[in-house]
Amino acid sequence: MLFGKKEKRASSPVQEKRSLYPVIHVANSLKSYQKELVQKEVASLWELNMVGTSFSGVLKETDRFQSKLQDLEQSFSNINQTAEQFIQVRGEIAQTVEQAQNQIVELGNTSAQVQQSYNAMAETFSQLQAAVKEIQQCMGKIVSIADQTNILAINASIEAARAGEAGKGFAVVAAQVKQLAEEIKVLSNEVNTGVTDVEDRAGQLNSSILSSQETLGQNAGIVTRTDESFRQITAAAEGAVSVQTEISGVIQSSQQELESIRSFFGQIKDKYQDVVKHIDSASRLGTTKSAMFEDMDNMIAQIPPMVQDLESGR
């Protein structure tokens, strides 16, 4: 209605030109706004590109960190394998200790056999005492020699149980025992004339037997202490196994924590990749909008010529 009333009025050309001026003004304003939007869009795309570059750097750092975590996990695995070698070492120690203890048991058995030899020699001296009881005064000396010979044989057997040169010592002592036995036979036949000689021999034999008994006692103490040392070694080996178990437990817990951290960074990496995808999508949309802005610029640029054509037509 208003436009119709204006058409009925007699309008001058200046008024018609002024009526189309707002259109040109709006078109110019739109073009200015469009340029400003294009500039802001370019800035936004630049910022998105920078953000995408930053996220790419973060992803690379995440990959490097995960690689470091893998190296750390491998180090823990190597430590655990080294700790597990304690078990093998403990087994070797236990085997060695067992062999040594078996040797100690064998030594004990040998000592028992020596004791049996002592008993056998005592029986021999008893039989000798029965054979020469007619000469009781000499019999006491003969029995003393027999007993001392028995003790000497025990000591010699103990020396035989020792390693190395101990066996040779037993052979020497055994020869002495045999020699004494022969001397006993001689004394049995020559008791009346050899009483003094028997007494001297008995003194020597007694000294040798006492020395052998002392050596036997020392060896028995050494055997006892050695067995106790082996027990301590075994206990120490068991302690090493306990420490290894604790180390394995700590390493296993650490590996579980590392796995949790790796999983966490894996999730973060997935999120970062999603963000990068969205940034790429936004960049593609920005490119589409740039084309739309170009089309808008072309359309806005056509408005002034169209207005001029309208004005010239009037």
pLDDT of residue 17: 46
The most confident of 11-25, 61-75, 119-133, by mean pLDDT: 61-75
Q: Is the pLDDT of residue 202 over 50?
A: no
pLDDT score for 13: 47
Kindly compute the dihedral angle of the four CA atoms of residues 208, 209, 212, 217, in this order, to the nearest 10 degrees: -150
Confidence of residue 231 (pLDDT cuts 50, 70, 90): confident
- Taking Cα atoms as reference points, which of 148, 81, 161, 165 lies closest to residue 114? 161
Rg (CA), the chain: 58
What are the pLDDT digits (tens) for 282-307?
A: 666 666 666 666 767 777 777 777 77
Residue 174 — pLDDT band, cuts 50, 70, 90? Answer: low
Residues constituting the chain: 314
Confidence of residue 195 (pLDDT cuts 50, 70, 90): very low
pLDDT band at 256 (very low <50, low <70, confident <90, very high): confident
Q: Would you state the torsion angle of the CA atoms of residues 230, 235, 238, 240, taken in this order, to the nearest 10 degrees?
A: -100
Read off the amino acid at residue 169: G
Residue of 119 and 310 predicted with greater confidence: 310
Average pLDDT estimate for 79-93: 67
State yes or no: pLDDT of 99 exceeds 70.
Answer: yes
- The highest-confidence range among 142-146, 173-177, 269-273, by mean pLDDT, is 269-273
Which helix H or strand E contains 11, and what residues bound it? none
Cβ atoms of residues 300 and 31 within 8 Å: yes
Spatial distance between the Cα atoms of 125 and 137, rounded to a whole number of angstroms: 15
| Structure confidence at residue 32 (pLDDT) | 74
Measured distance CA(47)–CA(59) in Å, rounded: 18
**Is the pLDDT assigned to residue 4 strictly greater than 50?**
no
What does DSSP assign to residue 122?
H
Is 50 exceeded by the pLDDT of residue 16? no
pLDDT surpasses 70 at 126: no
The amino acid that residue 49 corresponds to is: N
Task: Determine what percent of the chain is predicted with pLDDT higher than 70.
Answer: 24
Determine the Cα angle at 254 with ends 250 and 259, to 5°: 150
Least confident of 6-20, 40-54, 122-136, 173-187: 6-20
- Residue 217 to residues 55, 169, 213, 222: CA-CA distances in angstroms? 84, 17, 6, 9
Q: How far is it, in rounded angstroms, from Cα 147 to Cα 140? A: 10
Alpha carbon distance 52, 282 (integer Å): 11
Residue 165, φ and ψ in degrees, nearest 5: -80, -5
Per-residue confidence band for 14, with pLDDT thresholds at 50, 70 and 90: very low
> Quick one: pLDDT at residue 7?
43
Percentage, residues of the chain above pLDDT 90 = 0
At 179, is the pLDDT very low, low, confident or very high (cuts 50, 70, 90)? low
Is the per-residue pLDDT at 176 higher than 70? no
pLDDT-derived band of residue 27, with 50, 70 and 90 as boundaries?
confident
How many angstroms separate the CA atoms of 132 and 139, rounded?
Answer: 6
